[in-house]
Amino acid sequence: MYSKGSTDYDLYGIKIALNDRFLVSVDNLFLVWYVEHFPHANGSSCRVLYNLTTCDFVYSVVVPTTNNISFIYNCIDVHGNNVVGFLVSNDTCSFYLMNEQIISNYSTQDNFVIAIDGQSTGVYGFADDFLFFYQLFPTISLVTWPNTLNISPRAVDIGHNDKYAVIAGYCQSSVSVAVECGFLLRLNVSSACPYVTSTFQISTVVTYSWNDPRSIRLVTNSRTYTAQFVMSVSICWQTQQVLIGVQSLNTVYLYSLNDTQTPIGVRQTGMNLMGYGKSVAWLDQTCQKAVILANAYSYSNYEWISSSVHIYDIQSDGFNDSTQPILAYPNALQTLHQSMNPSFIRLTCSPSGHLGLLDRFGNGIGILSAPPNNYANTNTRIYVTSYLPCYRGTSRNYSSIELCYPESSSASNCSTDLFCPYGSVGEVAYSAFESIEQDQDYPEAPENTVFDDILMQNIFSFNLKSVHCLIVSPTTWVFVVMIIVGIIVIGMECSERFYPHQHYIRDRAKQIFRKIDLIGEGEVWIGGLITTAIIVFIISAYVFSNAFFHQYPIEQLKDNNSFACDATLRNAKFATTTQKRWDPRRTSKESQLIFDLLDAQVFTLNIDLIQTAYTCGDYFYIQRSDGYKITLVSITNCTTNYNGTILSLAIVLPAHELTVQLVLSGLKTVGAVRIGLSSPSATLEHGRFTALEMKFASTFVSSSLDQVLTESNVFPIELTKIINETDPLDSNGSPQFSAIWSYSLTANTDQLFTSENRYTFFYRSQTNISVTISQNIFYISNIQQPIARQTEVIFRCLLFTIVVLEVFGLLFLIVKLLFIPILHMIYTRLYQNFAKIHKVYPSSDLSMVTVENKNPLDTLTHTFKTQMPRRRWSSGTHVNEMNNCSAH
């Protein structure tokens, strides 16, 4: 039963229409039509009052598809008559009533819908009791027929033709049951009533489960009007397809006009809700994309929950429950128009792709199709949108109300050394955002921390595989000296053999060697030569000890040493312990100053957003969360680097332990992120206490180029104090302290990134990056001490000298008392045996004896010389004594 509700804009019809030139909406509260011309200009917003007509409550409004600035309405006058009329304009806000007709002999209709034909020559009307054709051109006339279609109409569409129409509504299947139904109608000339050519199966297409309330839905009277039973229809003659939305079933059906029994596709959004498909339309006359009003109402009491407009690429993706929209309005970039209420009730589209949208308070806006590489800007003060250029990393090569789409990684043709994820804004190499590692490793304690062992290992080291080791090895130089000694001995022996009468220089050299003999105490001149090698050995030990002594502390040593085979050898030993932090107010420890120095350092949080379209001009902010208190933290510095592919933010933190969050509004993506901390160095007491500079950053990159940073991320940073104490070389000195922050920044990469594509990116409303900084309750204490101090080095060197001399003296004594007598005895026996074999008689030629026995005698004489070095023998004496022995 008709009941006027001036504030209910969802009552009895569609109160918005548009073509490519203007938009018109109905306001029954203020009795006016609102008209917006395209494109918007001064004076393009119009108001057409009801007093031009007899209307008291307007049901619906339609506009010609031929872009004429005129509109047709159906309404109820103050007497309850069903009225249809035609208002025309001459491209201005001056509208006049061309014609108005009353459909006589019928009571006020609740279900009364109209549609204009594709040639804009006339309007068809469908009501519970009657049908009519309202001819507009070439002459105006009205023809009425009784409704014999057995349908209570809820929606009708003719599209870009004048031969057929699709009507949807409720059919009375029995006296007490009505079901959803639809017909394909043949439209005849004005003198013939439309008739049914085929029936759309709607009510039996989808079988619902037993616990789904839609399975027990019941409509008793098809003519009873309620907002829950609103339907919508949109027909496309180019593809021969039709959309039918049934919001009470939360379902949209896609049919082919060639097969009205089985739908091509069906999409629903679940049970316990209704509203999906409340209004449907084809985006433009190509009919590749469908626009669906995806409302959500509670099924039990029809309470509004949410509204959004979905666009589906049916031509590419098909149409079923798994089909995802390629756009949802509103979104983070195309926000809700400031004049609109978030509850939408109707939509309609123009042939070129403009979208008209009506909210529950009767506010209508026109979202105009934007040129290629631009997108519709809904942030306007007027009732039609403007357009803005696509932001970096996105594009669209056709006109549409859609957003610009980020470029996929597969389409970027990016080389392997460049980072080009989904939504890339340029080319940037991986090396441009590598992690910054802070050198915080403390040296491990050497295996040997006893100076005696180190001295002996390095003095007697001899490595043939390394030239450096050979050069610095004392053994090498001892061998060199021994070789020189050997050359001298051989030279002197040759001198005695070949120049027996010229022995002044030889004797003088022997005298010098005896004087420097520390082994045999001057007994033999060879001892002096060996002493020379020993002196080289001892000097090498002194040189090594002195160089080793100055290898402390390690922080003052820039290069590897050059005095030992082990280039990393240091006069330092280390001890590392983990200790619990103490209350600084209750301690008098000398090291408390270094803790105070660390606590006084100012932290700077550095965040690098890699491959992002965000710039310093975008709206984003840093907020600090302290329990229930939220405060803003200023961004100290913002820069873009590497051709605008990296946005770098620096934030000076007000505390060392806190949680801050970077909020990036909008649907722009971030390909990777690098997060780190930095703080300057500081000193006290002329460098005795030093807080070292902190600078580290960790980069997080997904393994897949199709993934970007998720909408919400948390990066926990745990800091640990490292206190380094360096003992002095001098026992009377003061220790030095240095300190640095050690960090731990770990996050699960699989949870940080998510796959993004054309079906998901527009759902992003903002990107939140949270950083939580905490301190470990323990700190690491590193103590550096010298292995050998000066007094120990001096004592060990003196001790080494004494030991070396005593060892070589012992060796000399062993050789003198043990080996030489044994060799002498062996030689004597061999000589006696030789003499018996070669027995010499007195009558023999003495000269021959002398010549034959010269070499053995020389050898023997040399041996005795070794035993009795204080007697000087000449070659002549040797011969004479041998001759005397032979004579006896």
* Cβ neighbours of residue 247 closer than 8 Å, sequence gap 6 or more: 228, 230, 231, 232, 274, 275, 276, 277, 278, 295, 297
Q: Residue 854: which domain range?
A: 838-887
Once rounded to an integer, what is the mean pLDDT over residues 180-204? 89
With bands split at pLDDT 50, 70 and 90, how would you rate the model's confidence at 199?
very high
Q: What is the pTM of this model?
A: 0.77
Dump pLDDT digits (tens) for 638-686. Answer: 999 999 999 999 999 999 999 999 999 999 999 999 999 999 999 998 8
Report which of 840, 837, 843 is spatially closest to residue 851, judged by C-alpha positions: 840
Give the three-class secondary structure for 672: strand
- Residue given tokens 């059919």 in the structure block: 171
Statement to judge: residues 473 and 343 lie in one domain: no
Give the full edge-to-edge strand order of the sheet including 178-186. Answer: 152-157, 164-172, 178-186, 195-200
Give the full edge-to-edge strand order of the sheet including 670-679. Answer: 637-641, 646-652, 604-612, 670-679, 694-701
Statement: residue 169 has pLDDT above 60: yes
Predicted local confidence at residue 534, as pLDDT: 81
Give the three-class secondary structure for 735: coil
Measuring CA to CA, how many Å separate 341 from each of 307, 308, 357, 362, 663? 10, 11, 11, 9, 26
Which stretch of 53-62, 280-289, 663-672, 789-798 has the lowest confidence by average pLDDT?
789-798
Once rounded to an integer, what is the mean pLDDT over residues 195-201? 94
Rg, the chain, Cα only? 53
Share of the chain above pLDDT 90, in %: 56
Which one has a higher pLDDT value, 876 or 160? 160
Dump pLDDT digits (tens) for 329-375. Answer: 999 999 999 999 999 999 999 999 999 999 999 999 999 999 999 99
The maximal CA–CA distance of the chain, rounded, in angstroms, is 182
Give the three-class secondary structure for 41: coil
Asked whether residue 829 is assigned to any structural domain, the reply reads no
- Residue given tokens 């109160």 in the structure block: 15
Report which of 689, 687, 682, 721 is spatially closest to residue 590, judged by C-alpha positions: 689
Give the integer Cα–Cα distance in Å for 829 and 628: 108
Measuring CA to CA, how many Å separate 663 from each of 284, 448, 621? 37, 55, 6
**Token digits of residue 328:** 């949802």
Give the three-class secondary structure for 164: strand
Asked whether residue 826 is assigned to any structural domain, the reply reads no
Give the integer Cα–Cα distance in Å for 682 and 692: 7
**Token digits of residue 532:** 């020379």
**Strand 712-726 to 778-785 pairing:** parallel
Please tell me whether the peptide bond between 330 and the residue prior to it is cis, using omega within 30 degrees of 0. yes
Give the integer Cα–Cα distance in Å for 196 and 649: 67
**C-alpha torsion sign, points 74, 77, 82, 86:** negative
Share of the chain above pLDDT 70, in %: 89
> Kindly report the CA angle at 348 between 342 and 349, in degrees rounded to 5?
120
Dump pLDDT digits (tens) for 738-760. Answer: 999 999 998 888 899 999 988 99
Give the three-class secondary structure for 875: helix
Asked whether residue 180 is assigned to any structural domain, the reply reads yes
Predicted local confidence at residue 522, as pLDDT: 61
Is residue 799 a contact partner of residue 540, using CB atoms and an 8 Å limit?
A: no
Asked whether residue 550 is assigned to any structural domain, the reply reads yes
Predicted local confidence at residue 411, as pLDDT: 66
Predicted local confidence at residue 882, as pLDDT: 37
Once rounded to an integer, what is the mean pLDDT over residues 543-548? 87
Dump pLDDT digits (tens) for 616-643. Answer: 999 999 999 887 889 999 999 999 999 9
343: amino acid identity, one letter: S
With bands split at pLDDT 50, 70 and 90, how would you rate the model's confidence at 198?
very high
Statement to judge: residues 501 and 582 lie in one domain: no
Statement to judge: residues 131 and 54 lie in one domain: yes
Identify which of 257-266, 406-415, 449-458, 811-820 has the greatest average pLDDT.
257-266
Dump pLDDT digits (tens) for 510-523. Answer: 666 676 666 666 66
Dump pLDDT digits (tens) for 403-446. Answer: 999 987 766 677 888 999 999 998 899 999 999 998 767 777 78
Dump pLDDT digits (tens) for 383-394. Answer: 999 999 999 989
Predicted local confidence at residue 869, as pLDDT: 41
Give the integer Cα–Cα distance in Å for 530 and 541: 17
Predicted local confidence at residue 569, as pLDDT: 85
Statement to judge: residues 20 and 162 lie in one domain: yes
- Residue given tokens 């120049």 in the structure block: 499
Mean pLDDT over all residues of the chain?
86
Statement to judge: residues 541 and 631 lie in one domain: no
Statement: residue 884 has pLDDT above 50: no
With bands split at pLDDT 50, 70 and 90, how would you rate the model's confidence at 590?
confident
Asked whether residue 1 is assigned to any structural domain, the reply reads no
Statement to judge: residues 258 and 311 lie in one domain: yes
With bands split at pLDDT 50, 70 and 90, how would you rate the model's confidence at 839?
low
For the CA atoms of 230, 236, 241, 245, the dihedral, rounded to the nearest 10 degrees, stands at -10
The structural domain count of the chain equals 4
Statement: residue 530 has pLDDT above 80: no
Statement to judge: residues 580 and 554 lie in one domain: no
Predicted local confidence at residue 192, as pLDDT: 86
Report which of 152, 81, 165, 76 is spatially closest to residue 123, judged by C-alpha positions: 165
Once rounded to an integer, what is the mean pLDDT over residues 246-274? 94
With bands split at pLDDT 50, 70 and 90, how would you rate the model's confidence at 852?
very low
Predicted local confidence at residue 862, as pLDDT: 43
Asked whether residue 5 is assigned to any structural domain, the reply reads no
* Cβ neighbours of residue 740 closer than 8 Å, sequence gap 6 or more: 438, 440, 691, 692, 694, 722, 724
Predicted local confidence at residue 257, as pLDDT: 94
Statement to judge: residues 624 and 769 lie in one domain: yes
Statement to judge: residues 365 and 283 lie in one domain: yes
Give the full edge-to-edge strand order of the sheet including 70-77. Answer: 55-62, 70-77, 82-89, 95-103
Q: 67-102 burial string, b = 16+ CB within 10 Å, else e? A: bbbbbbbbbbbeeebbbbbbbbbeeeeebeeebbbe
Dump pLDDT digits (tens) for 784-807. Answer: 999 888 888 888 888 888 888 788
CA–centroid distance for 844 within its chain? 109
Dump pLDDT digits (tens) for 15-41. Answer: 999 999 999 999 999 999 999 998 887
Statement: residue 109 has pLDDT above 90: yes
Asked whether residue 707 is assigned to any structural domain, the reply reads yes
Identify which of 190-199, 450-459, 837-846 has the greatest average pLDDT.
190-199
**Token digits of residue 303:** 């309470």
Statement to judge: residues 345 and 477 lie in one domain: no
Once rounded to an integer, what is the mean pLDDT over residues 294-298? 95
* Cβ neighbours of residue 655 closer than 8 Å, sequence gap 6 or more: none
Q: Is 198 exposed, middle or buried (0-12, 13-18, 19+ CB in 10 A)?
A: middle
Report which of 386, 381, 399, 348 is spatially closest to residue 24, judged by C-alpha positions: 348
- Residue given tokens 């100055």 in the structure block: 550
Statement: residue 866 has pLDDT above 50: no
Q: Give rounded-to-5 percent helix, strand, coil for the chain.
A: 25, 35, 40
- Residue given tokens 């332990």 in the structure block: 657
With bands split at pLDDT 50, 70 and 90, how would you rate the model's confidence at 539?
confident
Asked whether residue 439 is assigned to any structural domain, the reply reads no
Statement: residue 876 has pLDDT above 70: no
Statement: residue 182 has pLDDT above 50: yes
Give the integer Cα–Cα distance in Å for 414 and 619: 30
Statement to judge: residues 604 and 540 lie in one domain: no
Statement: residue 280 has pLDDT above 90: yes
Report which of 179, 153, 180 is spatially closest to residue 167, judged by C-alpha positions: 153
> Kindly report the CA angle at 86 between 84 and 88, in degrees rounded to 5?
165
Statement to judge: residues 555 and 648 lie in one domain: no
Which one has a higher pLDDT value, 319 or 67? 319
